[in-house]
């Protein structure tokens, strides 16, 4: 069964240099799962943080389920991420030693379960972003010229 991507964090590729990727499970309430099935999730400003030797996803906005009761989940509550202990220990070491960040890249269904792809990332400097945009523009102009000739 193929993966069904629900949400992507496109800004993560613009703002960060992706170093390593991990697939994690996520602990959710029932109404959150139903809202995700409707596609009401936003990963834009979210990040993961280690707290008490556990990995938590912060600022991930999952809107309330449209057909749910008035008493529903908090849209931006911290959600626990499920990884193997050795993966969490590796992430702890790399974030503390080298000052890297853990950012979510995408949220998707895999075999009926909701998974999140997280990445160990280093923030890009402004001049790195400008350089990449300049290269992209030059490449686009070269491709246009090649099509004309």
| CATH number assigned to the domain with residue range 4-148, chosen from the 4 options 1.10.3720.10, 1.10.150.130, 3.30.1180.10, 2.40.280.10 | 2.40.280.10
pLDDT at 85: 95
User: 55: which strand partners?
Assistant: 50, 81
pLDDT at 30: 86
Q: For the residues 62-69, what does the mean pLDDT come to?
A: 84
User: SS3 string of the chain?
Assistant: CCCEEEEECHHHHHHEEEEEEEEEEECCCHHHHHHHHCCCEECCCCEEEEECCEEEEECCEECCCCCCCCCCCCCCCCEEEECCHHHHHHHHHHHHHHCCEEEEEEEEEECCEEEEEEEEEEECCHHHHHHHHHHHHHHHHHHHHHHHC
141 has pLDDT over 90? yes
**b/e per residue, 93-113, with b = 16+ CB within 10 A?**
eebeeeebbbbbbbbbbeeee
With CA atoms as reference, report the closest residue to 113 among 36, 61, 55.
Answer: 36
Alpha carbon distance 49, 68 (integer Å)? 30
pLDDT category, 57, cuts 50, 70, 90?
A: very high
pLDDT category, 2, cuts 50, 70, 90?
A: low
Reported as a single tens digit per residue, the pLDDT across 81-128 is 999 999 999 999 998 888 899 999 999 999 989 999 999 999 888 888
pLDDT at 1: 54
List phi, psi (to 5°) of 107: -125, 130
Average model confidence (pLDDT) across the chain: 90
Query: What are the domain boundaries of the chain?
Result: 4-148
């Amino acid at each position: 069964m193929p993966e069904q991507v629900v949400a992507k964090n496109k800004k993560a590729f613009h703002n960060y240099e992706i170093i390593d990727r991990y697939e994690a499970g996520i602990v959710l309430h029932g109404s959150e799962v139903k809202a995700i099935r409707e596609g009401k999730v936003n990963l834009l400003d979210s990040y993961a943080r280690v707290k008490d030797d556990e990995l938590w996803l912060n600022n991930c906005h999952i809107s309330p389920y449209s057909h749910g009761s008035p008493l529903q989940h908090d849209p931006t509550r911290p959600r626990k991420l499920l990884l193997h202990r050795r993966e969490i220990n590796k992430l702890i070491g790399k974030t503390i030693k080298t000052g890297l960040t853990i950012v979510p890249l995408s949220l998707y269904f895999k075999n009926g379960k909701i998974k999140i792809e997280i990445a160990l990332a280093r923030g890009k400097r402004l001049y790195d972003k400008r350089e990449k945009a300049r290269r992209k523009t030059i490449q686009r102009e070269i491709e246009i010229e090649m099509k004309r000739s």
